[in-house]
Amino acid sequence: MPVSLRIKLNRQEEKILAESRKAISFLYRTRNHAVPRQERERSPLLKLNAQNK
């Protein structure tokens, strides 16, 4: 695998990991209480989900 491709893949993986961490911290923050609609709409989970489609 060419080095440039490997670097590109690593960057994508890092982005996905960062998004996942945001999503997980969002879940932990909001697990015990109702979430205001605007925060729910900004949820990193929604962004992650949209990227995966």
b/e burial code for range 27-40 (CB count within 10 A of at least 16 → b): eeeeeeeeeeeeee
Per-residue pLDDT band for 1 (boundaries 50, 70, 90) equals low
Give residue-wise pLDDT tens across range 2-40.
888 888 889 889 999 999 998 888 888 877 777 676 666
Task: Tell how far CA 53 is from the center of its chain.
Answer: 13
* Plot region of 35 (φ>0 → left; ψ -120 to 50 → alpha; else → beta): beta
Tokens of 22: 């945001």
pLDDT at 53 over 70: no
Give the pTM. Answer: 0.49
Domain ranges of the chain: 3-52
